[in-house]
Amino acid sequence: MDKLTIDSPLTLGEIEFVEDTSGLAIETMGDPERPKMKFVIALVTVLKRREDGDWTIKNTRELAFTDLQKLIDLGDDSTLLALGIAEEVEVADEATKSD
């Protein structure tokens, strides 16, 4: 699975989609008290649509959580931590190892 990268700034329409879909303003993403998965789903959808115009939010929702870390590359390893879901990824990885 190819990694998604933000190789150009998000357009205003893409930001609007992310905010509308997640119910959060982009500026609030650093708030650790805010849920993040709707934001992540919206962002992954936007990035996948850049590659495949037919990609839908339904396609994104069908991705396995364990694929998230493999899929998103936003520049450094602190991305998932900044999104507030790094601990969840570690827990998911540990659960996968014990199966």
72 φ, ψ to 5°? Answer: -95, 130
Q: What is the pTM of this model?
A: 0.64
Q: Is 62 a residue whose pLDDT tops 60?
A: yes
Q: Which domain holds residue 37?
A: 12-98
Instruction: Give residue 33's pLDDT.
Output: 84
Cβ atoms of 73 and 5 closer than 8 Å = yes
Instruction: Give residue 8's pLDDT.
Output: 72
Q: Indicate whether 7 belongs to any domain.
A: no
Q: Indicate whether 60 belongs to any domain.
A: yes
Q: Indicate whether 6 belongs to any domain.
A: no
Instruction: Give residue 4's pLDDT.
Output: 65
Give the number of domains in the chain: 1
Q: Indicate whether 94 belongs to any domain.
A: yes
| Assigned token pair, 35 | 């849920």
Q: Indicate whether 4 belongs to any domain.
A: no
Q: Indicate whether 2 belongs to any domain.
A: no
Q: Indicate whether 1 belongs to any domain.
A: no
